[in-house]
Structure 1
Amino acid sequence: MDYERAGDERKLQLQELESLCLEAYENSKLYKEKVKAVHDKSIKRREFQPGDFVLLYNSRMRLMLGKLRSRWDGPYRVEKVEPYRVFHLNHPSSSELIMVNGHRFKLFHGEKMAKNQELEIFLLEDPPTAED
């Protein structure tokens, strides 16, 4: 008789443990959804059109020396846009097209500046000293 009561008590403990596990999974799922929503809100969507100029991130630069060298190559021209952020890029000095994921490049603003004829130049001068 004591064994039967102990068995029933053990079954209740197992049911409580299972319900706690299910509750933990549900809480984890809710937490992940909230974190994803906050993360997705802070991501800027960058849209590129054919004809835009972009700079390509060189991920192999870490192996090279040159701490102050730029990790961005280019400019490249976007030739074709495919689904899932796949882009075909063309370098102006070659006719070869390369396929690149859209996360690896950013918009190049140098072309807009070359068209602008007005350029303001600031000459840096030393500050006046007490002797002057």
Structure 2
Amino acid sequence: MAYKTPIGTTPYRLVYGKGYHLPVELAHRALWAIKEVNMSYDDAGHERKLNLCELEELRNEAYDCASTYKDKMKKVHDAKIRKKTFEVGQKVWLYNSRLKFFPGKLKSKWMGPFIITRVGNYGDIESENLKDHNKQVVNGHRLKPYLDASDINGTEKELVSFLEVSLVYEMG
């Protein structure tokens, strides 16, 4: 009964080719029923063919509305995706896709660290495990950069020195 934006109409109308009528509305349709019964067979056949054609047009229109809606939603989704670039020798985390079948409450979904040994042209990346030196080729969407403690500590030192300079400047 409710109007659906992706298909541009109500599901009831797609199935039956007409709008839904509440039971209260049906009680007052006695005149309409009399007119329908008194219709000739030829006119009823033509009317039925017209109704079937209208229903087919309605379904085609809903299909077009749904496909344009999906295209718009895909554009919105793709606009939010950030491009990841990886370099050879960079440390990365690998997403453990098998964990979703046997989830652990506090188990991390990321394995690693791995080192990138080759970057392909189509998003395929060859990585090497640091522990057992096994190589595997994975999709770049399953990787995220690994940050060492030295990277984090180096950033904090710069931030602290910036804060000290700004505090001295404000007080002085």
- Report the TM-score when normalising by structure 1: 0.73
CA distance in 2, matches of 1:90, 1:39: 32
2:123 aligns with one of 85, 94, 117: 85
Residues 118, 9 of structure 1: alpha-carbon distance in 2 compared, 3 angstrom cutoff: closer
Aligned to 2:86: 48
CA distance in 1, matches of 2:41, 2:105: 75
Deviation digits for residues 20-63 of structure 1 (CA, Å, limit 9, x no counterpart): 11111111111111111111111111121222211112234463
- 1:97 partnered with 2:130: no
SS, match of residue 47 in structure 1: coil
Unpaired runs of 5+ in structure 2?
Answer: 1-39, 161-172
Shift of residue 109, structure 1, vs aligned partner: 2.1
Q: How many residues align?
A: 119
Higher strand share: 1
Shift of residue 100, structure 1, vs aligned partner: 1.4
Shift of residue 66, structure 1, vs aligned partner: 6.0
Residues 92, 32 of structure 1: alpha-carbon distance in 2 compared, 3 angstrom cutoff: same
1:76 aligns with one of 111, 114, 120: 114
Task: Between 16-25 and 3-12, report the one with greater CA deviation.
Answer: 3-12
Shift of residue 3, structure 1, vs aligned partner: 2.2
Shift of residue 13, structure 1, vs aligned partner: 0.9
Give the % identical residues: 38
- 1:76–1:91 contact (8 Å) kept in structure 2: yes
- Report the TM-score when normalising by structure 2: 0.58
- 1:80–1:87 contact (8 Å) kept in structure 2: yes
Aligned to 1:125: none
1:24 aligns with one of 62, 74, 86: 62
Q: Which has the larger radius of gyration?
A: 2
Higher helix share: 2
- 1:90–1:96 contact (8 Å) kept in structure 2: yes
1 or 2 for the larger relative contact order (CA 8 Å, sep ≥6)? 1
Q: Aligned-pair RMSD on alpha carbons?
A: 3.0
Residues 66, 29 of structure 1: alpha-carbon distance in 2 compared, 3 angstrom cutoff: closer
